[in-house]
C-alpha cells in the first residue's frame, strides 16, 4: 500500500464541505461545534472526506433518518485535533 500523501489542511473546511456534499434528510438536525480559528492538520484530505462521509451516512441510517447529529472538534497538542461525532439514534 502506498504511503498517504499528506498536506496541512484546515479540518474545519473539510468537515463543512463534506456536510454540504451529502444529502442529509431535513429531519436530521446537524450541529457543528467547530472553533472559529482554522484547525490545520497534516492529513490526506480525500481519505478524511471518505471516512467522514461513511461515518455520517451510518449515523443518519442509525437514526432512521430522523434525529440529531453533532460534530465537535477541538485542538489538542500542536498538529492534532480531536473530533467527536454523536447521534441520538437507537
- For 17-55, b/e burial (b = at least 16 CB within 10 A) is ebbeeeebeeebeeeeebeeeebbbebebeebbeebeeb
The reported pTM is 0.87
pLDDT, tens digit, 9 for 90 and up, residues 1-58: 788 889 999 999 999 999 999 999 999 999 999 999 999 999 999 999 999 999 999 9
Structural contact between residues 70 and 86, judged by C-beta atoms closer than 8 angstroms? yes
Amino acid at each position: 500500500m502506498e504511503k498517504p500523501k499528506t498536506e496541512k489542511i484546515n479540518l474545519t473546511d473539510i468537515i463543512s464541505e463534506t456536510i454540504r456534499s451529502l444529502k442529509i434528510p431535513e429531519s436530521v438536525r446537524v450541529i457543528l461545534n467547530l472553533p472559529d480559528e482554522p484547525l490545520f492538520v497534516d492529513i490526506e484530505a480525500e481519505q478524511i472526506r471518505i471516512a467522514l462521509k461513511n461515518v455520517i451516512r451510518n449515523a443518519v441510517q442509525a437514526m432512521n433518518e430522523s434525529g440529531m447529529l453533532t460534530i465537535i472538534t477541538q485542538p489538542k497538542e500542536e498538529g492534532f485535533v480531536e473530533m467527536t461525532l454523536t447521534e441520538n439514534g437507537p
